[in-house]
Amino acid sequence: MARTITLGAIQTSYGMDLDANIEKTKGFIREAAAKGAQVILPSELFQGPYFCVAQEEHWFTQAYPWRTHPCVVALQPLAAELGVVIPVSIFEREGPHYFNSLVMIDADSSLMGVYRKSHIPDGPGYMEKYYFRPGDTGFKVWDTRFGRIGVGICWDQWYPECARSMALMGAEVLLYPTAIGSEPHDDSLDTALPWRRAMQGHAVSNVIPVVGANRTGFEPWDGYANGGQRFYGSSFIANHRGDLVAEFGRDDEGVLTAEFDLDFLTTHRAAWGFFRDRRTDLYGHLYQPRP
């Protein structure tokens, strides 16, 4: 009997109320599970608005230790009730350190561990270096009930090294929770299509399904009379060829699902030979900061 996995992605808007955001996410998780999803991905930092649009110190009060983060605590029993895996993106506090992190909850509600975002952006509307340290966990892959899952967080998704590292660690699917949209410094800059293409490329180069779950909607900037961030949605599930097998537009809210045959993908990945033909003896410059 073939080993299959059904992936789900949530696309929705979020507001200021933590509890309301959690309840909204729970509703979509239930909807995805009812459609057969076994691994269900909410978007990045769904605990509240995407606060990294400016440097505001009061947001540090919204970080929690990963094991006791309200989003984690609330979704643990739901994972067990529905028998689903839930990767949970959080604002994490560890002592005096702060991270953009993800906690993997397995289908029995057990906490499998934490991944801390490796690549931290810093630019207009995405001032994450003010809030987050670069991750110190290294890339992570988890053996969940339904398959071996690798997860990067938002800016990680632009780096082929991140995807390839997780594939080399045996990941069978790659997931990317995201919060991305308008560019405040340039109204003409729209990265929605390149955002997708980057991850579709990861799918092709690693012969692996990829899921991108983005938020949608307009979020006014806290404390500013004018301005805000419009997130462009466009969440998707791509197959091992990079084809979009499920996708949302910019303003849709709901869940996407798609099923994959993991046994077929294991054999097909071997047949392509991408991992057989790697020339690691030539790649030394990849780990030098200034080759």
**Confidence check: pLDDT of 226 > 80:** no
The mean of the pLDDT values for the chain is 96
What is the pTM assigned to this prediction?
Answer: 0.96
- The pLDDT tens digits of the residues spanning 173-204 come to 999 999 999 988 888 889 999 999 999 999 99
Distances (CA, A) of 52 to 70, 76, 138, 140, 258: 20, 27, 23, 24, 32
Q: What is the pLDDT of residue 183?
A: 87
Q: How much of the chain exceeds pLDDT 90, in percent? A: 91
C-alpha–C-alpha distance, residues 134 and 129, integer Å: 8
Q: How many residues does the chain have?
A: 291
Cβ(91)–Cβ(58) below 8 Å: no
C-alpha–C-alpha distance, residues 28 and 35, integer Å: 11
What's at 230, amino acid-wise? R
Q: What is the pLDDT of residue 250?
A: 97
Confidence of residue 222 (pLDDT cuts 50, 70, 90): low
- The pLDDT tens digits of the residues spanning 1-40 come to 889 999 999 999 999 999 999 999 999 999 999 999 999 9
Q: How much of the chain exceeds pLDDT 70, in percent? A: 98
C-alpha–C-alpha distance, residues 244 and 256, integer Å: 11
Distances (CA, A) of 200 to 73, 152, 197, 211, 285: 33, 14, 5, 9, 25
Mean pLDDT, rounded, for 140-162 = 98
What's at 103, amino acid-wise? V
Q: What is the pLDDT of residue 180?
A: 97
Confidence of residue 225 (pLDDT cuts 50, 70, 90): low
Residue with the two structure tokens 């404390």: 223
Q: Which residues of 173-212 are buried (b: 16+ CB within 10 A; e: fewer)?
A: bbbbbbbbbbbbeeeeeebbeebbebbbebbbebbbbbbb
Q: Is residue 80 exposed (0-12), middle (13-18) or buried (19+ Cβ within 10 Å)?
A: middle
Residues with catalytic roles: 44, 117, 154
The sign of the CA dihedral 204, 289, 151, 27 is negative
- The pLDDT tens digits of the residues spanning 42-88 come to 999 999 999 999 999 999 999 999 999 999 999 999 999 999 999 99
**Confidence check: pLDDT of 113 > 60:** yes
